Structure 1
């Protein structure tokens, strides 16, 4: 229980050296790396954990890594890039295998809906497909910088049967760019007096900026629907035919 208490406390106060030092003292540096690896993997690889910290955690690592708390920044950065790559790959295959079954279920008034049905709304999938149609494969890279979307993007790519080699290329590029930019930003700005004094506020700002593109797209979709357009294009045979595959 103490571990979870320390972890929860750390995630709530990412900018405080004392929280990192307390965790390292309790579980050791190597185990801390394992925990951070697991968090990034789950945030990108499991569609049920989009609430885990991503951008804010990476930024905080960059800032903390420049201080004397016992973290090897180049090593943890490399490990988290690998975690992000593996996470998206696992998420893709979950979507490839499970997605079509989930979204082909009966959605009528009397249909029973399980937990997965509630978490994976078909309308969200269709909107994500439109996003893919608009931006193509580079969605995998762009989604890395948008909370929640980065968790669902690889799943949708798997459901749509996107060519895996193409997906893997975007996956690697996106993971390297995301982790490097966020950690690098922490290194550059994390030690400045303003950021150190207002770290929690800066973290909130990072989250707001990350979510902003998704909010804009949502507003545009609502306006399009009100003006008589369609924010969602129904695909009747999703996940069943190569004609609906995301290339």
Structure 2
């Protein structure tokens, strides 16, 4: 990812580089691109962009990181309003069986964690795509969604990008930067697995209750 970004920067210059990174972050949730290619719209994109910024004096980490945060917020806003305006059929039309399984996991995740699901979902590849429209479909109050959206998107966007930057620019903090990045990625995996386990447990309980004689 970092090599591809370096080639992009060499071909187009800093401004178009910023716009490309921001556009991919926005499209990852607003246009559902993250469902099919999460590795170029999520954590690896941000970390790679941060690494490249740390090695190129033409780039500003703060311009990049703040722009990433704003793009993430705007992408989630589009997802939320599409869910609110178009309803559940909007997600039903989104693709095959594995996409619909992701939708069901996200619905359960939202039921379990509410406001926090919007924050945490930014760190989960399938969550950041599906949770915003589900929040809209579920009629979550806009200002509740907005505050959670800002906290999650800004912390995710700025944190991972800045970690990548320091991993490149300061050898003394490089090991710490890689450890923090690993913890963030591990936490996202744990949150996803926990949601899956809770969903399976809920389904099993519902099946047992349905099978009991009345």
- Partner residue, 1:142: 120
Match of 1:212 among 187, 190, 195: 190
Cα displacement string for residues 30-81 of structure 1 (whole angstroms, at most 9, x for unaligned residues): 1111111110001122234332331122122222222235221111111111
The 8 Å contact of residues 45 and 88 in structure 1, kept in 2 or not, is answered as: yes
* Residues 47 and 78 of structure 1: CA distance in aligned 2, closer, same or farther (over 3 Å): same
TM-score, scaled to structure 2: 0.77
* Residues 185 and 158 of structure 1: CA distance in aligned 2, closer, same or farther (over 3 Å): same
- Partner residue, 2:67: 79
1:31-180 correspondence to structure 2 within 5 Å: 31-50=16-35, 51-52=37-38, 53=40, 54-68=42-56, 70-102=58-90, 116-118=94-96, 121=100, 124-180=102-158
Q: Matched residues in 1 for 2:187 and 2:143: separation?
A: 31
What RMSD in Å do the two structures reach over aligned CA positions? Answer: 3.1
- Partner residue, 2:206: 230
- Partner residue, 1:235: none
The 8 Å contact of residues 47 and 155 in structure 1, kept in 2 or not, is answered as: no
Q: How many residues align?
A: 199
Specify which structure has the higher proportion of helix: 2
- Partner residue, 1:238: none
The 8 Å contact of residues 56 and 206 in structure 1, kept in 2 or not, is answered as: no
Q: Could you tell which deviates more after superposition, 43-52 or 154-163? A: 43-52
Q: Which consecutive unaligned segments of at least 5 residues does structure 1 have? A: 1-10, 106-114, 232-247
Report the structure number with the largest CA radius of gyration: 1
TM-score, scaled to structure 1: 0.68
